[in-house]
């Protein structure tokens, strides 16, 4: 069977830094509250760049790291809920901007789980087709959706992008799972785009993020251990066999609780939430790139990544790097 390996990774973070102290200029909050409740110290937000710009730079870095010619790319998937426009897809914009052949290019929206979903889809597409290499990206400009007057949510999120090139190589994507529960999507969603009609031609609005933090917290602390246990059991592995856990960076307390429940030693955990906050679909992709570039992951290591987010959606992936 064809192997589907991570050939290269890249990420791109916009320059503007917004520290916890900076947020005090807009809302009633403080560094101590944000740090102890979330682990976040700062996040980056765009000034003039949009989602496709962040995705473009992350993609260039992944292509360079993979040492491939961009003409070898057969497919582009971008995981995002914050594309530049409702359509066309960010992936379509990138296909042209990166100067790729006329390849399949589309976006996936599974909120914060999007990158894990996209890896799942790309892995199956490569394994079962003539396509050999995929560019898979998680990219978000969440600042567009943030209500900057809502202290319950605005402190949590940041913008960024991460990318991987998948193709035949030394490693493999061993297994993955993805789940969804739409019955509880009221707990976390971007509020709606209103309906229009010839009689009521009101302008479009971009919805704000609305969240019931406690419900999301409860869900996430159940979903992460559950999907990790499923993937371990189905592959006859234990935590000891895994070199690194790269979880969605939404809240340090969620990561720590899941880690404790799963008996994962802290040194097997990759955490960068303090620098970026929750970058949704970009979070696992950025973390993976930083883990690779900082030498935390070596060829042959087994990694588990888990993401969870609005929907609810969640899923895990087992990678031999």
Active-site residues, by number, are 112, 248, 278
Query: 262-298: string of b/e by CB count within 10 Å (b at 16+)?
Result: bebeeebbbbbbebbbbbbbbbbbbbbbbbbeeebbe
Which residues sit opposite 135 in a β-bridge? Answer: 76, 165
Radius of gyration of the CA atoms of the chain, in A = 19
Q: How far does CA 292 lie from the centroid of its chain?
A: 16
Find out whether 137 and 9 touch, Cβ atoms under 8 Å.
Answer: no
Residue nearest to ligand UT7 (CB): 213
214 interacts with ligand UT7 by CB under 6 A: yes
- Greatest extent of the chain over all pairs of C-alpha atoms, in Å: 63
Q: Which of residues 45-64 bind ligand UT7 (CB under 6 A)?
A: none
Smallest distance, Å, CB 230 to ligand UT7?
Answer: 20
Could you give the CA distance from residue 164 to residue 59 in angstroms, rounded to a whole number?
7
Among 97, 151, 189, 257, binds ligand UT7 (CB under 6 A): 151
* CA distances, 34 to each of 21, 277, 296 (Å): 10, 10, 27
Residue 88: burial class (beta carbons within 10 Å; 0-12, 13-18, 19+): middle
| Candidate ranges 94-102, 150-158, 259-267, 291-299; the one touching ligand UT7 (CB under 6 A) | 150-158
The residue (of 242 and 306) whose beta carbon lies closer to ligand UT7 is 306
Number of residues that bind ligand UT7 (CB under 6 A): 20
Among 38, 80, 177, 227, binds ligand UT7 (CB under 6 A): 38
The residue (of 12 and 187) whose beta carbon lies closer to ligand UT7 is 187
112 interacts with ligand UT7 by CB under 6 A: yes
The residue (of 39 and 171) whose beta carbon lies closer to ligand UT7 is 39
* CA distances, 73 to each of 93, 162, 165 (Å): 15, 17, 8
> What mask, x for binding ligand UT7 by CB under 6 A, covers residues 290 to 319?
-------------------x----------
Residue 203: burial class (beta carbons within 10 Å; 0-12, 13-18, 19+): exposed
The residue (of 5 and 278) whose beta carbon lies closer to ligand UT7 is 278
> What mask, x for binding ligand UT7 by CB under 6 A, covers residues 266 to 295?
------------x-----------------
Residue 3: burial class (beta carbons within 10 Å; 0-12, 13-18, 19+): middle
Among 50, 208, 227, 251, binds ligand UT7 (CB under 6 A): 251
State the residues that interact with ligand UT7 by CB under 6 A: 29, 33-34, 37-38, 112, 151-152, 155, 211, 213-214, 216-217, 220, 250-251, 254, 278, 309
């Amino acid at each position: 069977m064809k192997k589907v390996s991570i050939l290269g990774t890249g990420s791109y973070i916009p320059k503007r830094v917004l520290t916890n102290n900076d947020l005090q200029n807009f809302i009633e909050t403080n560094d101590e509250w944000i740090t102890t409740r979330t682990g976040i110290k700062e996040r980056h937000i765009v000034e003039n760049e949009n989602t496709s710009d962040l995705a473009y730079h992350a993609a260039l870095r992944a292509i360079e790291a993979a040492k491939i010619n961009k003409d070898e790319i057969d497919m582009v998937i971008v995981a995002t809920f914050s594309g530049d426009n409702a359509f066309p897809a960010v992936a379509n914009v990138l296909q042209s901007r990166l100067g790729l052949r006329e390849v399949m290019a589309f976006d996936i929206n599974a909120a914060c789980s999007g990158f894990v979903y996209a890896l799942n889809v790309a892995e199956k597409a490569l394994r079962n087709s003539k396509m050999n290499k995929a560019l898979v990206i998680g990219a978000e400009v969440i600042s567009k959706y943030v209500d900057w007057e809502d202290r319950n949510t605005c402190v949590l999120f940041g913008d960024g992008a991460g990318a991987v090139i998948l193709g035949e190589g030394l490693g493999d994507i061993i297994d993955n799972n993805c789940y969804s529960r739409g019955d509880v999507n009221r707990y976390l969603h971007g509020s709606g785009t209103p309906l229009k009609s010839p009689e009521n031609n009101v302008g479009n609005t971009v919805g704000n993020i609305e969240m019931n933090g406690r419900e999301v917290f409860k869900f996430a602390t159940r979903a992460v251990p559950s999907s990790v246990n499923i993937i371990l059991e189905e592959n006859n592995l234990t935590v000891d066999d895994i070199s690194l856990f790269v979880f969605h960076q939404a809240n340090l307390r969620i990561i720590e609780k899941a880690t404790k429940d799963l008996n994962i030693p802290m040194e097997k955990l990759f955490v960068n939430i303090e620098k970026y906050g929750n970058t949704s679909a970009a979070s696992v992709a950025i973390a993976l790139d930083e883990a690779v570039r900082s030498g935390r992951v070596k060829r042959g290591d087994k990694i588990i990544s888990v993401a969870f987010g609005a929907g609810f959606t969640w899923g895990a992936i087992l990678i031999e790097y």
